Amino acid sequence: MGYSKNRPFVKVDVTGEVDKRFDEVTSRLAEKAERTYVDTQLQGVSLSYKESFPDLTALQTAYPTGDTYNHVTLADGMIYTWANNTWTNTNIQANGTGIADDTVTPLKLSENHLIANAKGKNFFDKSKVTPDKYVDPTDGLIKNAVGRYLSEKIYMGESVELTKTGGNIAMYDELGAFIGSSPYTEKQFMTVVGTSYLLMSINSSAELNTTQLELGSVETGYESGLPKINKELIVGFAEDVTSLVNANEKLKYPITYTDVVNKNLFNKMHVTPDKYVNYTNGNVGVAVGRYLLDTITLKPNTDYTKNTLGVIAFYDVDMVYISGFGYSTSTFTTPLSTKYANISVNSVGDLEKMQLEEGLSKTNYETGLPLIRYEQVKGLPKAGISFQNTLIVAKSGGDFDSLSEAITYIYTYYTIADTITNPITIFIMPGTWEASIQLTGGRAIALKGANQETTIVIDKTGDYYNAPVKMAGPINIEELTVVASIENMSVPEPSLKSYAVHHDFSGEGTSTIRRCNLISYADTALGVGLQQSQKLIIEDSYLYSDNRLGALVHNSESTATNQKLIMKDCRVISDYTAVLSLTDANNTTGTGDNRDTELTFINNVFYSTVNGTSGILSATSPMGNGQFGYMKLTGDSYGNNLPQLNAI
């Protein structure tokens, strides 16, 4: 009831209103969750657990209809919860060990995560390819082919626009079913609806350093597909890099470091203090002052060498002890069933000295911490190498231990203008360097070997497209032995075979070859195709082929001017009937508009082990005022044992 001084009392019947309110309260109480329901929901987000079982089957047997508590299975160390009428893995490890390995996808990571943006623009990671495999774009099947390379899975969504420099692409849905492809010749393509991941394959090792797969419809400059690490993360290798690797263990599609882990398998950052392994029975015990390395993986039936500071115990795939060695054993072969090993040392001082490496030879100590190559670091200043304009390639102690990687570094971080202003020198220490390198595109680069006889660059495929050195423009090579050979007898010989040095690429400027041995066991030693405004100088060098010409020279078939070749003080030897070929390609098979190609020969010896010096020059017949077609022999050509090459 209510009162108003402006009106009389009014009597109100409230019975109906009370009944209505009572019904509402009853209805809402019915909607409230019962205790069992609440317990079940809270259980799913709890990190606590009650009991442990050997495996999931044992848990299911003990609680076939579920339980209000979480439980742990020892087989995988995971906490399981009852959800949707089944025991479900929470992907949370018991005992506070955190998120399970191999469970966090990139989409779950924030942009400012430790490894955010660790990948560069290139999705093709050359460090994670499988050799002698390729994907067939017609059916998506993986097949064998010696010399080809297959990428890892490249996770990619549907309807994504991509550009590639080459390579076959196959597309698969989330169940691994083949659903589409992009052939070698197609540069731009769109992933089909339903795409979950791609596989990419290339045809040769030479393409490892040039293949790129990137977002968008425009091809940009090549960038290595190796993981990129922002330089601000690299404060101290001992801490920050280890943190990065630890974080990487949680990724479902992790960054791998297969080509940057060093020889020492004993990583001092991954040890537990006051623990040791008993190498006679494989048991782990407590001992103050000792250090136990985290369990590592070793190859079965493989030779390893350790120093005498540590003991080691071997285990099979189920972590069942097999055998072990004490301090005094340095070199050993792992048992046939080896999968894992435990190693311990006696003191903190031994952490800085302990080394385990594959092979029978003990080498100098190297820290077991992960190593990072220059091309993996985003924004590394050029001053980060030993000399801004000099790179040293050496088996150890240099800037690079791979000639190919040194070349890739220059083409990644130095523009053409950089090298024209300050030419780059790659100093190569003695040794045999297996590589197929391309020095073209206008960068000014010098390759200098430490010794003409002992610094050897070799390609063993014998493939025309894999010549050990391909060059044009402002390039200088000195004091090297360059060899093209065919040593892989398990595959058919290539139809087109390799020169030792191939100079038949665009790029204006002067190239020089000085004090080099050019040797081909596949084809001609030196193949030269002059192009617009190019000069090639070969001095004081030895050219040899055991089955073809010592040197083959031609000018450009298409319109081109200002082409010059100078050969001085060289010995050119062949086990073939002819030694030297000079062809005016422009006026025999080309556009016929070139008249100014100039050839200079001074003090050279040409010799065939078959014909001596008789008939060993193959040349285009004179045209106009030229000596070899319209190609002219300069007036200062003299001193050669072939009279056709002497002007005076």
Q: What is the 3-state secondary structure (H, E, C) of 36-56?
A: HHHHHHHHHHCCCCCEEECCH
Q: Which two tokens stand for residue 636?
A: 């200062």
Indicate whether 415 belongs to any domain: no
pLDDT tens digit string along 284-317? 999 988 999 888 889 999 999 998 788 999 999 8
Residue 8, pLDDT > 60, answer no
Domain count, the chain: 4
pLDDT confidence of 107, banded at 50, 70, 90? very low
Q: Are residues 515 and 437 in the same domain?
A: yes
Supply the pLDDT for residue 206. 75
3-state secondary structure 198-213: EEEEECCHHHHHCCCE
User: Can you tell me the distance from the alpha carbon of 435 to that of 440, in angstroms, rounded to the nearest whole number?
Assistant: 16
Q: Which of 171, 204, 226 is the last residue of a domain?
A: 226
pLDDT value of residue 120: 66
The CA–CA distances, whole Å, from 383 to 233, 318, 400, 446 equal: 18, 49, 15, 19
Residue 520 clears pLDDT 80, i.e. is over it: yes
Place of tokens 């081909």: 520
Residue at 533 is within a domain: yes
Q: What is the pLDDT of residue 51?
A: 82
Question: Closest Cα to residue 292, out of 352, 346, 366?
Answer: 346
Query: Which is more confidently placed, 391 or 31?
Result: 391
Q: Is the pLDDT of residue 257 over 50?
A: no
406 lies in a domain?
no
**How many whole angstroms separate alpha carbon 316 and alpha carbon 295?**
12
Of the two residues 90 and 578, the one the predictor is more confident about is 578
Residues 6+ apart with CB under 8 A from 123: 154, 156, 213, 214, 225
Provide φ and ψ at 438, rounded to 5°: -120, 115
Mean pLDDT, range 453-463, rounded to an integer: 93
User: Stretch 507-520: mean pLDDT, rounded?
Assistant: 95
Would you say residue 165 lies in a domain?
yes
For residue 510, pLDDT over 80 is answered with yes
pLDDT confidence of residue 415: 84
Contact at 8 Å (CB) between 530 and 563? yes
Q: What is the average pLDDT across 522-546?
A: 96
For the cut 90, the answer to whether the pLDDT of residue 621 exceeds it is: yes
Q: Is residue 109 part of a domain?
A: no
Please name the residues in contact with 622: beta carbons below 8 A apart, sequence gap of 6 or more.
628, 629
The whole-number pLDDT of residue 146 equals 85
Q: Is the pLDDT of residue 605 over 50?
A: yes
Both 39 and 88 in a single domain? Answer: yes
Last residue of a domain, one of 50, 81, 99: 99
pLDDT at 172 over 70: yes
Number of CB atoms found within 10 A of residue 357's CB: 20
* Secondary structure (3-state) at 224: coil
Beta-bridged to residue 88, according to DSSP, are: 81
Q: Mean pLDDT over residues 563-582, rounded?
A: 96
Give the model's pLDDT for residue 225: 64
> CA-CA distance, 577 to 610, in Å (whole number)?
6
User: Do 130 and 90 share a structural domain?
Assistant: no
Confidence of residue 353 (pLDDT cuts 50, 70, 90): confident
Which SS3 state, helix, strand or coil, does residue 324 take? strand
45 and 190, same domain (yes or no) = no
Task: Please enumerate in sequence order all residues whose Cβ is within 8 A of that of 13, keeping only pairs 6 or more positions apart, or say none.
Answer: none
Question: Looking at the domain assignment, is residue 375 inside a domain?
Answer: no
- All residues at 6 or more sequence positions from 611 whose CB lies less than 8 Å from its CB, including other chains: 577, 578
pLDDT bin (cut points 50, 70, 90) of residue 38 is very low
Percent of the chain exceeding pLDDT 90 equals 47
Q: What is the pLDDT of residues 369-426, one digit of tens each?
A: 655 444 444 444 333 333 358 889 998 888 889 999 899 888 888 888 888 888 999 9
Q: What average pLDDT is seen over the chain?
A: 81
Q: Could you tell me if 215 and 285 lie in one domain?
A: no
Query: Would you state the pLDDT for residue 333?
Result: 95
One domain for residues 68 and 136: no
The pLDDT value recorded for residue 413 is 80
For 25, which DSSP code?
H
Choose one of 330, 358, 386: the last residue of a domain. 358
pLDDT for res 210 = 84
Higher pLDDT, 491 or 519: 519
* Residue 254: predicted pLDDT: 42
Nearest Cα neighbor of 213 from 228, 229, 202 is: 202
* pLDDT, position 6: 39
pLDDT value, residue 142: 93
**Residue 636 and residue 525 in one domain:** yes
For residue 462, which phi and psi values (nearest 5 degrees)? 70, 10
| Predicted local distance difference test score (pLDDT) of residue 89 | 82
Residue 95 falls within a domain, yes or no? yes
Determine the pLDDT at residue 103: 52
For the cut 80, the answer to whether the pLDDT of residue 213 exceeds it is: yes
- 80 and 137 in a single domain? The answer is no
Same structural domain, 344 and 295 = yes
Please, which residues have CB within 8 angstroms of residue 309's CB and are 6 or more apart in sequence?
327, 345, 346, 350, 353, 354
Extract the tokens encoding 524: 């001609």
Q: Quick one: pLDDT band at residue 503, thresholds 50, 70, 90?
A: very high
Task: Indicate the pLDDT class of residue 101, thresholds 50, 70 and 90.
Answer: low
Give 137-155 pLDDT, tens digit per residue: 999 999 998 888 999 998 8
Give the domain range for residue 320.
Answer: 262-358
Q: What is the pLDDT of residue 374?
A: 44
Same domain, 597 and 511: yes
Tally Cβ neighbours within 10 Å of residue 518.
Answer: 30
With cut-offs at 50, 70 and 90, classify the pLDDT of residue 207: confident
Q: How many CA atoms lie within 13 A of 271 on its CB side?
A: 28
Q: Report residue 635's pLDDT band, with 50, 70 and 90 as the boundaries.
A: very high
Is 530 inside any structural domain? yes
What Å distances lie between residue 167 and 217, 219, 498, CA to CA? Answer: 16, 14, 22
* Overall average pLDDT of the 471-493 stretch: 87
472 and 603 housed in the same domain: yes
Contact (Cβ atoms closer than 8 angstroms) between residue 343 and residue 355: no
**Claim to verify: residue 353 and residue 292 sit in the same structural domain:** yes
Which DSSP string do the residues of 319-375 spell out, in sequence order?
Answer: --EEEEE-TT--EEE--TT--EEEEEESSHHHHTT--EEESSS-------S----GG
pLDDT at 84: 79
**Which residues are 142's β-sheet partners?**
135
What gap in Å lies between CA 560 and CA 473, rounded to an integer?
15
Residue 227 pLDDT > 70, yes or no?
A: no
**pLDDT class for 19, splitting at 50, 70, 90?**
low
- Give the chain's count of helices (H) and strands (E): 8, 48
pLDDT given at position 240: 39
